[in-house]
Structure 1
């Protein structure tokens, strides 16, 4: 029986090198209690070269508005860990939180027309 030594070149063969709980310092929940799976985040302009690859993957996925649940699905990460990792990136200023609607002002006249219509009901 031969035993081949792993030389570190093929991550798919060797599996995950850093357990996810190490990346989040053992945290099991985000510090920001307002985060939920529908929370929308977006990447802020920042140098991500010092981030761990797992965190960099999240920032790269957030070039446009995306929910925490979508991030977890795209990156095949457990949702609890994804939420904590997003929380870390929010704390460090790599991500912004909110919604696309908060960032873009709609046509004020259209909104006033809709409001007037609702008030007439």
Structure 2
């Protein structure tokens, strides 16, 4: 088998192929249940190098120079939300990110039909 045949499954446009468990160092549980997709994170250590050597941590700190939601960070990193929450939690534990979770008022949202209609219109526009 030639090298071309062995490498034929690989597409150069795919970028680096790294398993998610390698990115999160084998962790799959969320140690920070207060983090959700709407939680805002911001870099609390501007100009300080990340304590962790993985490139994902440096990218999260770069992205969070202005407040971003965890969902936005996940989209920029092209990682699943669960993996991103683990990485963000690590940086919070290191004191390099600050976070603010949204107020948990699901009853107020559920009782506001105009807000629900606006969300539905937004989804339909996509």
* TM-score exceeds 0.5: yes
Deviation at 1:24, TM superposition (A): 1.7
* In 2, Cα distance between equivalents of 1:49 and 1:90: 12
Per the alignment, residue 80 of structure 1 pairs with 82
Tell me how far apart the structure 1 counterparts of residues 76 and 58 of structure 2 sit (CA, whole Å): 14
Gaps of 5+ in 2: 102-126
Residue 57 of structure 1 corresponds to: 59
Q: Which residue of 1 aligns with 2:72?
A: 70
**Cα-to-partner distance string for 1:66-99 (whole Å, 9 max, x where unaligned):** 0000111122111111111111111111211127
Structure 1 residues 12 and 92, CA gap change in structure 2 (3 angstroms): farther
Counterparts of 1:88 and 1:59, CA distance in 2: 12
Q: Which structure 2 residues correspond to residues 37-116 of structure 1 after superposition, within 5 A?
A: 37-45=37-45, 46-48=48-50, 50-98=52-100
Ranges of 4+ aligned residues in structure 1 off by more than 6 Å: none
Equivalent residue, structure 2, for 1:28 = 28
Cα offset, 1:14, TM superposition: 6.9
- On the 8 A contact 1:55/1:85 being kept in 2, the answer is yes
What is the TM-score normalised by the length of structure 1? 0.64
Q: CA deviation at 1:25?
A: 2.6
Q: RMSD in angstroms over aligned alpha carbons?
A: 2.6
Structure 1 unaligned runs (5+)?
Answer: 100-121
Q: Give the number of the structure whose alpha-carbon radius of gyration is greater.
A: 1
CA distance in structure 2 between the partners assigned to 1:58 and 1:86 by the alignment: 8
SS at match of 2:79: coil
TM-score by length of 2: 0.62
